[in-house]
Structure 1
Amino acid sequence: MVFATSDSLGVPEIHEVQAVKLLVAGGFGVGKTTMVGSVSEIPPLRTEERLSDIGAVVDDLTGVESKTTTTVALDFGRITLNPRVVLYLFGTPGQDRFWFMWQELSVGVLGAVVLADTRRMQDSFAAVDFFESRDIPFIVGVNCFDGADIYDEDEVRGALDIAPHVPVQLCDVRDRDSAKLVLVRLVEHLMALATADVDQRN
């Protein structure tokens, strides 16, 4: 599948993209499966299994005690933003022991959403490091859980130690319009980066 066209230098040209592969990543229980399911225009593919007593030894359920299932491979969904832009969404597993899947899922990806939970911000550090170390553009989506403290964009950016140009979007991934806005923000970020690259080469 072609996710983006490239110019002679191999730089993706966003305005010609017909299909875009994006990742939805983040820590355990942050809302990745919910987000993919909220926005997908097709029945989402899910690879969830029930949490077991054995897994409880290695899975930290602090803050997500009511969680009963976990993604063991990936989530997959699709959303058409407009006739020229179709997004293919791949949700990553959250636990450390499934992180080998992240490398496979990142092949051909154009950008990513790092979902964050302000109650467990430290769980987002690994995802931020993953994309920064691979020069994969990303934005941060702060999933506003019921009862959680709300912080502004600058506070979130400081807590995660991310660059000023990385967008931060507050959201409720249970709500389709809110989750879709996160994806719109990511696409706008990718377009801005592509435009800056073209301007720099000219």
Structure 2
Amino acid sequence: MSVFFYARVSTAEQTLEHQRIQAEKAGFAFDHVIADHGVSGVAVPMKDRPEGKRLFDMLRKGDTLVVRWVDRLGRNYADVTNTIREFINRGVIIRTVINSMTFDGSTADPMQMAIRDAMIGFMAASAQAQAEATKEAQKAGIAHAKGKEDLYRGRKPSFSRAQFETTVDLLGKSVGISEIAKSTDLTRQTIYRIRDDVAGAEKSLALWRM
């Protein structure tokens, strides 16, 4: 029985090291670390990613798969739910770093199974909804900035796009401000500003082409 850590690093500003360190600080230790780099969680199914495909081949009954959150598996509802169900049907235990969620196929109680499956569906739907919201905000910000090179852009954001996306993601999961600050290296004040005006923060990043 082995413990696998899977990470999906979808942008240049995200790093495998950040996700791995966060997991280790939460008390996880791994036998294998597997990561896909520069791969969209919306457009590319788990089985079609180079390392995702390898993970499918490697996981066996009794193994544990650790991910930062289900959005690392993907941001497409059908793909994420199918992936999780296939893994737990194999006898694989899935654990998340954020909020310490655990999913497995050990229970035979129909009520517990229903609760587990409902939670999986909710988390997968949240991942897709967040991806769609971010995409729309990016479009709005870019459209606002397009063709307006001389437009006063205001103060340059004190956060990167990766930090912004992580902050919005964690806020959507009701993670506390202090924990988000530790995860993103942002100040509490910056996180509050993002929380209070997500669209404005997104537009600011677009205006500065960040």
Structure 2 length normalisation: TM-score?
A: 0.31
Relative contact order: is structure 1 or structure 2 higher (C-alpha 8 Å, sep ≥ 6)? Answer: 1
Structure 1 length normalisation: TM-score?
A: 0.32
Identify, as 1 or 2, the structure richer in helix.
2
Q: Larger C-alpha radius of gyration, 1 or 2?
A: 2
Identify, as 1 or 2, the structure richer in strand.
1
